[in-house]
Structure 1
Amino acid sequence: MHPTNHPTTQLLGRSEDELAWFQRRSLVQAAGLWVAAGGWISAHAQGRSNIVELRGDVLRNGQKLTPDQRVEAGDSIQTGPDSTAVFAVGNSAFMVRQNSRLSIDGDTPTAVKALRLLTGAVASVWGRGTERQVVLPTATAGIRGTGVYVEVFPEQAFRGYLCNCYGTVA
């Protein structure tokens, strides 16, 4: 049995947990390519949005987020059921899953210093540079040039989960 008391399904010879791991890894690789290709800095210089994908109900600072807008350090993001957002800020990229609430802290609109995840899940790739933080209700991790997947489980007293895909976590 799966830890959530649901039977584990085998798909293509892999369990749901294995498939989820491969999906997270693929997302981190794709986000890494976005950042390596210039990501948001290139999009910003061309006057374009930094939103790669937007599905369902997504709010930025309490207002509906549209594909032509930008997400910047200092913004709060909230996704509803069956909703996701994928965007880049500076040299970092984020994929926010459904039912998530987070804030992105920074000194300037393109300089992310911390990701504060209150609930839900985020896969992110962080470019090299100064030390940054991922802050969960129950833990804080210092990161540098890394790809991480973080999730907060509100139904389990806000227990946090952090998977370091590559890079340095302190």
Structure 2
Amino acid sequence: MTRARPLDVFAAFGYAFATPARVAGVLAGAAVTYAALVLSAFPEYTGQMLGAGVGYLDDALVALTRNTLSTAGTVGLALVVLYALVTGVALVTAAGQVRQTDESGVEGLTGVVPGLVASGCASCGAGLLGLLGFAGALAALPFHGNLVRLAGLLVLLWFLARAGDPRTCRVDV
């Protein structure tokens, strides 16, 4: 089993930003993640806007970004943006691991995929709770749910530390 090493987070970021193609992958992954997190905060509103036409996607993103800012504050919005960026890095790192390993080496992906799944819901908070019918639950949390967002971000960073740079082979002793 691979242990998380704090400096391997920097190796994962270094890998993700090493080439223009990877940077484009990080930015694309971050943009999709940000849109998913913000739009899932109020799924009914998003459904109504997109039901009226895909042309309303930008209006929905702007409105729900403003809503995130007004409900979670600057820190909450910054955590959502930071989580989206780190998710982009995790996606590029996971793709690199798939390219670098054979079928038996896919076990290394367990360093990134659980982080995406486990902390994705914690990052947006309201998205998952809203989908489950508990939209007001996040408002009852201290600091407007920012501690939950921070915890999700830390879990994702921990999984990135486990993954590191996919071009290097690590043997834990």
Query: Scaled by the length of structure 2, what TM-score is found?
Result: 0.26
Higher helix share: 2
Which of 1 and 2 has higher RCO (CA within 8 Å, sep 6+)? 2
Higher strand share: 1
